[in-house]
Structure 1
Amino acid sequence: MPQKSDCSVFVADEAAMVMFGQQIAHATSGGEVIFLNGDLGMGKTTLSRGVLKGFGHQGSVKSPTYTLVEPYELGEVTVFHFDLYRLGDPEELEYLGIRDYFTDQSICLIEWPERGEGVLPPADLLLNITVEQRGRRINWQAQTEKGRQLADKLIIS
């Protein structure tokens, strides 16, 4: 079994990606900003679905490609799922009131974070998803103390 310090896990299929997302949900304490990096089709939205499922969300999860953000109020936490793929200019985020999303009661999952560079706060946890064999490799790196605490709680099985 890999150790937490490995900061990497192989996910063989969609179900494993969802399960890893659930582990992330269970490891959060509130206020985390998580950047999801990976090419189109890598499973960023599937991972987000797992995080939401980990908080008890039962409905569908779609990529907010056109709306830029989808809020999910789940008990005492709100998960904001951002997809910045179609963002034309990072300054557009200011018109969204972007700073209001980042609170101690929210978890922010951000796909294509590089498109909001200069406006987004720093990530607590940075996830990179790449193809490996027939599955995906997820590498993560803590960027802040809150991110280190989250990463330390991730259980790899």
Structure 2
Amino acid sequence: MTSLFLADPDATDRLGAALAESRPPRAVVHLLGDLGAGKSSLARAMLRALGVVGTVRSPTYTLVERYPLAEGGEAWHLDLYRIGDPGELEFLGLDSDDAALWLVEWPDRGAGALPVADLVVRMEVEGGGRRATLHPCNASSEAWLTHCRFHMPTPE
């Protein structure tokens, strides 16, 4: 587990860029935290670092936004806050083989219908900034974070 204090939006962007640049070819990231904790900001920073241009929309109402990646494949950004039952995900046409990167906000609402997380990131408001706590879920994501640490802001 790695815990980082993100003092400002630029720090969140740097973390997103570091995670994007060092990510494995396929990854599922579950983003946890209260409303306004910075989940969408971190997802947006990762997508920008992966070369997504144009508007990066929050999937609050659409539930999923798909973005082509420069190196091929797609990144899917999901916000499941508004779903009432994990079965609703069937109607979104999500096939875990199609996405190179899953960024899932409110993953608990899709429990059992989502691919297993490689990395869980908990975002919390702390003072004037945010705290990001990263939990690797397997050996691949442990290696991901080990490789990423070189680029990330130094943990407190």
Partner of 1:78: 74
User: Can you give the 5+ residue segments of structure 1 that lack an aligned partner in the other structure?
Assistant: 1-5
Query: Aligned to 1:130, what secondary structure does the other structure show?
Result: strand
Query: Aligned to 1:57, what secondary structure does the other structure show?
Result: coil
Residue 150 (structure 1) shift: 1.5
**Quick one: structure 1 residues 140 and 150, their matched pair in 2 at CA, closer, same or farther if it must change by over 3 Å?**
same
Residue 145 (structure 1) shift: 2.2
Residue 105 (structure 1) shift: 5.6
Deviates more, 1:30-39 or 1:103-112: 103-112
TM-score (norm 2): 0.90
Partner of 1:14: 9
* CA displacement, residues 13-68 of structure 1 (integer Å, 9 cap, x when unaligned): 11211111111101112210000001000111110111011111232222101111
- List 4+ stretches of structure 1 deviating above 6 A: none
In structure 2, distance between residues paired with 1:27 and 1:52:
13
Partner of 1:117: 111
Partner of 1:148: 142
In structure 1, distance between residues paired with 2:125 and 2:97:
33
Judge conservation of contact 1:9–1:139 (CA < 8 Å) in 2: yes
Partner of 2:97: 103
Partner of 1:3: none
Partner of 1:61: 56
User: Can you give the 5+ residue segments of structure 2 that lack an aligned partner in the other structure?
Assistant: none
Deviates more, 1:51-60 or 1:135-144: 51-60
In structure 2, distance between residues paired with 1:58 and 1:10:
27
Residue 149 (structure 1) shift: 2.1
Partner of 1:33: 28
Over the residues paired in the alignment, what is the CA RMSD in angstroms? 1.5
Partner of 2:37: 42
Residue 77 (structure 1) shift: 3.4
**Quick one: structure 1 residues 105 and 90, their matched pair in 2 at CA, closer, same or farther if it must change by over 3 Å?**
closer
Residue 10 (structure 1) shift: 0.7
In structure 1, distance between residues paired with 2:90 and 2:83:
12
Letter in 2 for 1:109: L
Percentage of matched positions with identical amino acids: 42
